[in-house]
Every structure is written in C-alpha cells, then in structure tokens.
Structure 1
C-alpha cells in the first residue's frame, strides 16, 4: 500500500520542486548571459586587433614607432 503524504510533507516537496525549477531557470539564464558575454569579448578582442594592425601600418607614415604587441 503506497504511503500517503501528509499536508506538511506535500507542501515541503512542492517547495523543494519549486526551488529546483527556479534554480534550473536561473542557471539557464546565467549560461545564456555568459555565452553572450563571451561573444562580446571575442568581438572586442577582434576590434582591438584590427585597430592595432591599422596603427602599426600607419605609424611609419606618421614618423612614430608602432606600439609593440603584448
């Protein structure tokens, strides 16, 4: 014969399930944000590299020394 839950047990299980659902939802949101931030960082790194390349090309024309690559 299956054990019937008391109202307190049922409420506790409901709360735990709600907490788990919220945790999964929050984690999915954080993972989406992390992926977005990684893409933004990569884009900024590419832009910095492009600007550095342009400056290194133009530096001799301006009579200055090009910045060294880190």
Structure 2
C-alpha cells in the first residue's frame, strides 16, 4: 500500500481584512500541533504550538477574557 502525505494549505484568518495584516494557519496541521505564520511575510519563520495550547488561546480569546498585563 502506498502512503500519501495529506495536502496542506495555508488558510487566512476569517477576521482578516484586505490589507494582509493577519495570520494564516496550516490545514490540516501536523498531529498534535497548530502552525501559524504572518500573512504579510509568509517566508519568515512559522510558529508551532501544541494543539492544546492553541485551543486554550482560541477559547480564551473567544470568551472575551482580558489579556494579561505586564
């Protein structure tokens, strides 16, 4: 049987405007990871998070919790 790697694409955040000031995420992500990059400069380094960390970040953002200061 032949194994084929999934086709991965970069998806721009739905909150993005037309000025490219946003982030993109890799879909589908590698198992257990979340990968994001700056859409203005896609050749710069990607940022890789553990899936649990990214899920918590999104949950906190959507709940309207205040950002930490300091």
Fold similarity call, TM over 0.5:
no
Higher relative contact order (CA 8 A, sep 6+): 2
TM-score w.r.t. length of structure 2: 0.25
- Larger radius of gyration between Structure 1 and Structure 2: 1
